[in-house]
Amino acid sequence: MTGAMDGHAEDRGRVFQASGDQHISEHHHYGDAAAPPSGPDSVRRPAVGRPPVVLRDRAEVLERLRDGMRAGRGGEVYVLYGMGGCGKTAVACTLFQLATAEYGRVGLWVSASDRASLRAGMLAVAADRGAGDGELLAARNGLRPAADLVWQYLDRSAEPWLLVLDNADQPEILRDGSWLRTSPLGTVVVTTRRSAAHWWPGAELQHIGVLPREDAARVLRDLAPHSGTQEEAAAIAERLGRLPLALTLAGGFLSQQVLDPWTLETYGRHLDEGERVELIDRGADALSERDPRHLVGLTWQLTLDVFEARGLPEATALLRLLARFAPEPLPLSLLDRAGISGVLPRARCETALRALLDQSLTELVDVGVRCAQSHGVLLDSVAAATPAEQVPVLDTTAVLLLDTAVPDVPDAGPHDPLLRLLVPHGLALLRRIGDPSTSADALAVVTRLSIALHRTGDYLSAWETARAAADLGERLLGAEHRLVLAARSRAGRALFRLGRYAEAEALLGHVRAAQERLFGADDPDTLDSGHGLQLVLGNLGRRDEAIRLVRSTVAGRRRVLGPAHPLTLRSRSGMLVLLPASEIVAEDGGTLLSLPSECVRFLGADHTVTLGAHHNRAWALYLLGRFDEAGQEIRLVTEAYRRRFGPDYPIALSAQQLLSRTQAARGHMDAAIELMADVVARRERGLGPDHPFTVAGRRLLGDLSSGRWRPPET
């Protein structure tokens, strides 16, 4: 060896410069089964409940949109904008059906309401267009630009397509990452409440407004044909401001009356007697006094009054509970839990939900998980009109239901689409709740949800969720509340995984200093931030600082949590890849190399910490020149990773790379080259040829093939 400083970092690993071939990787285990990243299973169908049987008064709009479907056309972006409840999604859904049935287009439907939903949906689009598991994993883990991957496959599509980005009421999330682009092979349609032209450069904007009088009347008669005449329907439609959402709610109500059916004349009389309900249509322009959105409150209030009169108060209670959540798909499993009894008897939840479905107050949608979804204008209206004395129990129950849906102790595992679906609902609770104690409970749950996302490798969603939760929690709890600091610490951990080391160091350093000042050096939260910070320092090349901090963290966790706690063992495992070879044998009283055996005894052979300890010990043995032992151990780890994650998962490739090194060190050069060639090929497919991990792997393969490679000096 020449003694040159030739270390390099690979696979989210850490490298510290030393004489000789010193390569140190930090290893983490994610999951119990091979599971490529997945998004919603429904990108081939609109995520809406019941599209209108007949789309009234949109012929001119549809004709303009159909022009984009005709042979040889592509590259267009159409933006359908208008107030909430005007039927933008209905127009997009009808176009979607036409594109797939008449024009031979592949239809792709993605919710753009929040970052997590947008990213998951767009990655599902990439998968639909042919992206491989390795590429999708890399995009989800933040190892390659996700939007670039999606549009690469859209541009390569063998079939023309229509892509709908629904509910893009925060256009900035489309701009971040450049999700909205054009392609000669397809047409993009966006639905939004935001019409400012600067959000949609180069797009064709199409306003979707309220319906003309006669068409609005026909909507009522489509839904409730026996409730009155066309002129009576026109009068009621005018009374409802000709807003499609209000018409749908009114028609749904009239169509379901059996024992004592209402006529349109009766319905109009009750409208005249009703009180206006305050309505907040988030993301749209301010309401005028005569804005038809005000009338949505009257339509659903009449329905709830009838529920009460007919002995079904549970339907009212359920709608008010749904209004604490976001207007996004809410997994039905969330409602089928004992905790709902604080608002309505669990045994009555099915009946209450059916009543809401019958009255079009909510819809069933299938996004890979069966969900209920209600319109945002309706939910805002219901939330604003909920009696103040009922709000505390509704908020408490909503938090409890969310709490039971998030794992108590999130563990490494395969991607779970349910977790992504819960994000907007957790953040909506933090926005709605006004009581500090309940807000703290909600923040704890959402932070745990961020941890669960992190441990599936969805680092972008984990960071966005933790950051947003901390910002929302700080409003009521203050910047130095324990839970706010814990959420910011999790955001820092996710930034580290995204490779944003400088930001991660600044955030984790600030949080840890505040925690130490407020709670003490041995507080579990302080120690957790310390563990995260030492990872960052190691990757920044500040080995001495990292070693001091990890030793302090191990000592603190031993005192507070005990020697057998998984977090204590995890921190000790990190020392196996952080310490130079000269210190490994003597560290921790000479017991560090036996750590995997301790993990097996305390946690079991299949625990994530145990498997990571075996991986790290294999690296330490390799540095010590004990190549036979290292090779045997890393082979078992590699096989376990491949079984659990599949051959393309980054950590499986990291283990295979170490296996290649041990094979070379034992003189099995052909086997080493074969293993490393496979690593490079998989990285090129997943990360691209220019990614640093790919480049580093190719360099090692070149050294092995040319005979330049040498084992580490001991």
Tell me: the pLDDT tens digits for 503-531? 999 999 999 999 999 999 999 999 999 99
How many domains in the chain? 4
The b/e string for 98-118 (b: 16+ C-beta within 10 A; e otherwise) is: bbbeebebbbbbbbbbbbbbb
| Domain end (from 183, 207, 231) | 207
| Domain end (from 547, 573, 592) | 592
In a domain, 34, yes or no: no
Which CATH number fits the domain that encloses residue 633? 1.25.40.10
Question: Under a CB-based contact definition with an 8 Å cutoff, are residues 453 and 465 in contact?
Answer: yes
Task: Supply the range of the domain harboring residue 549.
Answer: 398-592
| Domain end (from 252, 283, 311) | 311
Q: Which two tokens stand for residue 60?
A: 């001119």
Do 143 and 278 lie in one domain? The reply is no
CA angle 336, 373, 430 (to 5 degrees): 80
User: Is residue 292 scored above 60 in pLDDT?
Assistant: no
Do 87 and 174 lie in one domain? The reply is yes
Average pLDDT (355-375) is 86
Do 408 and 520 lie in one domain? The reply is yes
137-154 pLDDT, tens digit per residue, is: 888 888 889 999 999 999
Lowest mean pLDDT among 222-231, 295-304, 558-567: 295-304
Q: How far apart are CA 247 and CA 286, in angstroms?
A: 21
Instruction: Specify the pairing of strand 363-366 against strand 370-373.
Output: antiparallel
Do 295 and 148 lie in one domain? The reply is no
Average pLDDT (522-548) is 95
If phi > 0 it is left, if psi is from -120 to 50 it is alpha, else beta; for residue 613 that is: alpha
Do 489 and 557 lie in one domain? The reply is yes
Predicted structure pTM score: 0.81
pLDDT band at 649 (very low <50, low <70, confident <90, very high): confident
In angstroms, how far is CA 443 from the centroid of its own chain?
17
Write down the pLDDT at residue 560: 96
Q: How far apart are CA 359 and CA 172, in angstroms?
A: 35
Do 415 and 546 lie in one domain? The reply is yes
Do 230 and 203 lie in one domain? The reply is no
440-483 pLDDT, tens digit per residue, is: 999 999 999 999 999 888 888 999 999 999 999 999 999 999 99
User: Is residue 211 scored above 60 in pLDDT?
Assistant: yes
Phi, psi (rounded to 5 degrees) for 307: -55, -45
Segment of 5-14, 17-26, 290-299, 608-617 carrying the highest mean pLDDT: 608-617
User: Is residue 682 scored above 70 in pLDDT?
Assistant: yes
Do 677 and 557 lie in one domain? The reply is no
User: Is residue 7 scored above 50 in pLDDT?
Assistant: no
Amino acid residing at 595: L
In a domain, 301, yes or no: yes
Q: How far apart are CA 360 and CA 358, in angstroms?
A: 6
Segment of 285-289, 308-312, 588-592 carrying the highest mean pLDDT: 588-592
Write down the pLDDT at residue 417: 81
In a domain, 601, yes or no: yes
Do 404 and 539 lie in one domain? The reply is yes
In a domain, 12, yes or no: no
CB atoms within 10 A of CB 225: 12
Mean pLDDT of the chain: 85
Dihedral, 531, 535, 538, 542 alpha carbons, nearest 10 = -50
Average pLDDT (21-30) is 32
Alpha-carbon separation of residue 712 from 83, 205, 289, 385, 561 (angstroms): 66, 63, 78, 71, 37
In a domain, 18, yes or no: no
190-203 pLDDT, tens digit per residue, is: 999 888 888 898 88
In a domain, 35, yes or no: no
Closest to 472 in 3D by CA, of 446, 498, 490:
446
Do 510 and 549 lie in one domain? The reply is yes
Angle between helices 313-322 and 349-358 (to 10 degrees): 80
Phi, psi (rounded to 5 degrees) for 81: -125, 155
Write down the pLDDT at residue 458: 85
Instruction: Name residues whose C-beta falls within 8 Å of residue 486's C-beta, 6 or more positions apart in sequence.
Output: 447, 525, 528
Lowest mean pLDDT among 51-60, 122-131, 621-630, 655-664: 51-60
Question: Under a CB-based contact definition with an 8 Å cutoff, are residues 283 and 251 in contact?
Answer: no
